[in-house]
Homo-oligomer: A and B are copies of this chain.
Amino acid sequence: MDLLIQNCMLDGVRNSIGITGNRITTISPDLKPVAADVIDASGKAVIPGLLNGHTHAAMTLFRGYGDDMALHDWLNNKIWPIEAKITEDDVYWGTKLACLEMIKSGTTFFNDMYWQWDGVARAVDEMGLRASLAGVIIDLFDPVKAKEQMTQNAFLFDRSKSYSDRIHFCLGPHAIYTVSAESLRWVKDFADANDLLIHTHLSESEKEVRDCLDQHGMRPVDYLESIGFLGPKLSIAHAIWLDDAEIAKLKEHGVGVLTNPCANMKLATGRFPYSRVRAGGVRIGIGTDGPGSNNNLDMFEDMKFLALAEKVNTGDPTAAPAQEVFDCATTNTAEIFNIDAGRIDVGALADIVLIDLQQVVFSPGHNLVSDLVYAANGSVVDTVICDGKVLMQDRVVDGEDEIIARGREVAQDLMSR
C-alpha cells in the first residue's frame, strides 16, 4: 500500500481506503498504515472525483470577457478575434489555471476540446489530472484545410503517446456546421482503426437543426447516422434540440450525451430535455462547457443547475433527483469516456475527493448526496487525489499563486496584442 486514507465517511459509515500505485486496493475500517503515507480523513466524507464531460479549459482566459451578449456578437467581436492570436503558451497557462480551478472544486477528469493541443496536454500532465483531450477539427468545408487537419490529427495522436497514461487523445470534429461529411467519415475510420473516442457538439441551437434540415433534409442525428458516424465511441455535447426518433437512435448506437446546464442557460440556447433523454435509455453526463460561457468550472454548480432546471422545465419537483444527477457527474461520465473511475471500489482508479463535513452546509446533514447537489459548492472539497497522487490537501495546491498570477498576465497580454 502506498497511501492510506484513514477514518473517512464512505456511504455513511466510517471506513479506510488503501491505495497502491494508481488503484484503490483495499477498503476496510481496520486498515493500518504499513509503509504508506497516511491522510487522516476524520470529519471528511469520501466521494469519487467528479468528471467534467465537456469543456474548453483554456477559455479561463476569457472568463468575464464579454458577458450578457448574443452568441454571434460574442463570438465575432470578442472570442474569435482573440483566439486568432492565441499561442501555445497562452493555452498552456489558461489550461493550468483551469486545472487548478478543477482541482479546487473536486474534478479529477475532464474532456476538453481546444486549439494548441500540446499546450493543453503539457498543462494537464503537469497538474496531475486525467483528461480526454480532443484535437479540434474544423475544415469549413474546404478540402485543403480538411487534408491538413487529418495530417495534424494523425500527428497529434502519435505525439499523445509521449504523455502520461492520464492523457487520452480523442478526435474532436467541432460540429456538423463546421466540418464536412468527408472529414467526419475520416474521423470515424481513424477512430475505429486506432480505438479512439470521438467528441463533437450537436444540436446546441435551434438554428443548427433548421440549417441541417435545409441543407441535408434531415435532423442532425439522422444526418450523422446517414454518413455512418454514430456509434459507442461517440459522445455529443449539448444535445438540446432532439426529437424522440433521434433519442432512440442515440440509444440504439450507444452514443453518450453531455449536457451543459449553465452554459445553455447563459447563452439561452435552449433547455436540455433531461427526462426524455434519460427515459430513452441514453447515458447522460455533465459538462461545465468553457469558462467563457459558464463562467466557472465548478461541477457542483452544474449539478444543481441541471436538477433545478429539469424540475421547473417539467413542472415536476421530483424530476432529476439528487442521486441521479450525482451519478451523471460521476459514474455516467466515467462510462461515456471509458474511465475506470467515478466510483469508490476496490480495483477502480484512485481518483478520489475528500469533502470537509465541518462546512456549514453539511449541518444538520440529513442526506449527504442532497447536500452535495443542492447545498454545496466546490469550496467544500478538502483533498483531491488523482491516479493515486495527492493533488490538493487542506485546500492547498502546489504553485497555485503563480498559476493565478500568470493567468492574469497572459490574459492581459493576449487582449492587448
Contacts and interface: CB of A to CB of B under 8 A. Distances in A.
B268 A315 contact: yes
A262 B308 contact: yes
Interface string A231-269: 000000000000000000000000000000010111111
A394 to B, nearest CB: 13
A74 B316 CA distance: 13
Interface residues of A, number: 75
A213 interface: no
Contact of A370 (B64, B104, B376): B64
A296 B404 CA distance: 28
Contacts of A62: 366
A311 B367 contact: no
A408 interface: yes
Given A67-B322, A375-B291, A60 B315 contact: no
Contacts of A270: 312
A315 B265 CA distance: 9
A376 B64 CA distance: 11
Contact of A361 (B268, B296, B321, B360): B296
B265 A374 contact: no
B317 A64 contact: no
29 contacts: A60-B364, A63-B363, A64-B365, A64-B371, A64-B374, A65-B367, A67-B374, A68-B321, A68-B322, A70-B318, A74-B317, A262-B304, A264-B312, A265-B309, A266-B308, A266-B311, A268-B312, A268-B315, A295-B370, A295-B375, A296-B375, A301-B301, A309-B312, A358-B401, A360-B404, A363-B411, A364-B407, A364-B412, A377-B379
